[in-house]
């Protein structure tokens, strides 16, 4: 199914020749008899509208008759969670929210080695408590939410949240720590290309790596502090 590299796009334009490997040729094999209760027409209408994702969520919840919305957020996005939760409450929903560090699960107990625990390899503090997406999903299951929204969960955590959540899951904010929660931005610019196509010089990369801090760096830090 190489849809991304398709040139003709016959399924949308309705004209022209289909490519040889087009999955549209085998559509009959997967035909199901389930009725969708007008969902397809509704989704097609929403897809064309130029509205924000938050408004899309509100419209969809109204369409399905959802009352309770669960929010699963990262601890680093607490302020964003406040804004979004307030917005959804003003829109007339019951909103429940859980942060990712709930339950205080130790990183040691899921088998994370010591060198990845307190300080990250890039030199920042990350703590010894692991995120707990399973508990987030089970808590929101217990609250019987109709739809769950992810607000900035990391890559592995969002998939295990989706796996254990009973209600349908929607991602409101995809987390990207280096690009201000705009993960698509690396696809548009020169530096995004560079990040994936070139290998960094290890000598330069050492500077940002706590493992390779040398005594001279510490002395330099102290000297700068004394000057200021």
Partner 1 sequence: MKMIQCVSCFKQLCVGGGHQDKDFCPMHVHPEVFDDAEKVYAEDSETRLMAKNAAIMESRGYIVWPRLKDIIEFSKSMKYNKIAVLFCPDLWREAKKTCTILSENGFTVVSRVCGIGKSNPQPPDEFMSEVNEFSPDIVINAGLCVPFEAQVLKLSKALVTTFIARDKKLNNAPALAVYTSDKWRDWAKEVYRDKLGLK
Min dist CB 222 to partner 1, Å, is 25
Min dist CB 219 to partner 1, Å, is 25
Question: Of the two residues 5 and 201, which places its CB atom closer to partner 1 in the complex?
Answer: 5
Min dist CB 220 to partner 1, Å, is 21
Give CA torsion, residues 192, 193, 198, 204, to 10 deg. -30
Min dist CB 223 to partner 1, Å, is 26
> Are 61 and 69 in contact, with CB atoms under 8 Å apart?
yes
Other CB atoms within 10 A of residue 59 CB = 16
Other CB atoms within 10 A of residue 213 CB = 13
Measured CA to CA, the distance from residue 173 to residue 187 in angstroms comes to 18
Question: Of the two residues 48 and 215, which places its CB atom closer to partner 1 in the complex?
Answer: 48
Min dist CB 118 to partner 1, Å, is 9
Measured CA to CA, the distance from residue 162 to residue 181 in angstroms comes to 20
Question: Of the two residues 91 and 102, which places its CB atom closer to partner 1 in the complex?
Answer: 102
Question: Of the two residues 184 and 221, which places its CB atom closer to partner 1 in the complex?
Answer: 184
Measured CA to CA, the distance from residue 70 to residue 61 in angstroms comes to 12
Question: Of the two residues 109 and 224, which places its CB atom closer to partner 1 in the complex?
Answer: 109
Nearest 5°: the CA angle 183, 147, 59 is 80
């Amino acid at each position: 199914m190489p849809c991304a590299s398709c040139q003709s796009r016959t399924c949308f334009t309705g004209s022209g020749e289909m490519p040889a490997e087009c999955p549209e040729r085998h559509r009959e094999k997967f035909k199901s008899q389930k009725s969708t209760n007008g969902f397809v027409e509704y989704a097609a209408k929403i897809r064309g509208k130029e509205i924000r994702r938050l408004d899309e969520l509100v419209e969809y919840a109204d369409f399905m008759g959802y009352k309770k919305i669960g929010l699963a957020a990262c601890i680093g996005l607490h302020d964003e969670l406040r804004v979004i939760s307030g917005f959804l409450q003003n829109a007339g929903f019951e909103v429940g929210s859980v942060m990712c560090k709930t339950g205080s699960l130790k990183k040691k107990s899921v088998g994370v080695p010591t060198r990845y625990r307190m300080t990250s390899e890039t030199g920042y503090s990350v703590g010894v408590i692991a995120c707990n997406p399973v508990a987030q999903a089970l808590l929101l299951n217990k609250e019987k939410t109709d739809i769950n929204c992810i607000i900035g969960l990391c890559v592995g955590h969002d998939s295990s949240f989706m796996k254990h959540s009973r209600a349908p899951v929607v991602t409101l904010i995809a987390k990207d720590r280096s690009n201000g929660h705009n993960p698509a931005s690396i696809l548009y610019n020169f530096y995004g290309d560079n990040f994936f196509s070139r290998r960094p010089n290890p000598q330069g990369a050492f500077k940002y790596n706590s493992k390779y801090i040398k005594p001279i760096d510490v002395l330099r830090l102290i000297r700068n502090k004394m000057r200021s």
